[in-house]
Structure 1
């Protein structure tokens, strides 16, 4: 697996049109910081948009379980990403529009992402992406 830094290669993210529109609306509603807005707008500018059926299986999107390694803290964590209306802590699901969701959406297994999480600049590697039924 090759490791790419997202900032160095913003063109490699792949999104469904629905996710693309969801992120645009999230930005429009000012739900992100200015810095996040800049990064997200750059990513969206270069994002490849595909139909859901054409989205590669190793790309982070809604209804995926994602294993990541935070190289800044040396922790491995598992997230289950769902739409914002379905995210529930008691179900251990995370909104795709959460900080970690926005950091990883459209990226694939092996990607290394530099993103601010919990107020700290973090280097996160996507180890595994699993589609949920």
Structure 2
């Protein structure tokens, strides 16, 4: 992963922390995605929703990504697992890409490990961020 400063809103930290607590108390406590999301939360800088920069990927943000190697562009909304549907463009925060982009900003290049080796994506745009739009209750 990139070593740039990452941001998370207080509200997102609370909801994701609760989700992790519930998952860790169940049978999935050793799942890689839980460990990676927990690590990301531990290094993120927590800010109030009104203070998060408008180009940062938060929960329910719509984001345009570009694969650095292939040039492929993808657009997703970052959501909680129960709302995920990749075919509808709703990417789970506990997916490898979802965890990788949470808290990063437009222009950041994120690297994460896949079974086929490292993959790099660039955050091209954040066309919608709930906090920037004043939508604090999503």
Q: Which has the larger radius of gyration?
A: 2
* 1:72-124 deviation line (CA, Å, top 9, x unaligned): 33211111112222223453311222221101000000111111246431011
Distance change in 2, residues 1:87/1:125 (3 Å): same
**TM-score computed with the length of structure 2 as normaliser:** 0.71
- For the 8 Å contact 2:63–2:125, the answer to whether it is kept is yes
Q: Which has the higher helix share?
A: 1
Q: In terms of mean alpha carbon deviation, does 111-120 or 78-87 score higher? A: 111-120
Asked whether the 8 Å contact 2:75–2:89 carries over to 1, the reply is no
TM-score, normalised relative to structure 1: 0.74
* Cα distance, 1:44–1:53 mapped onto 2, change above 3 Å: same
Gaps of 5+ in 2: 131-138
Q: How many residues are paired up? A: 124
Give the superposed CA RMSD: 2.8
Corresponding residue of 1:25:
20
Partner in structure 2 of residue 101 of structure 1: 98
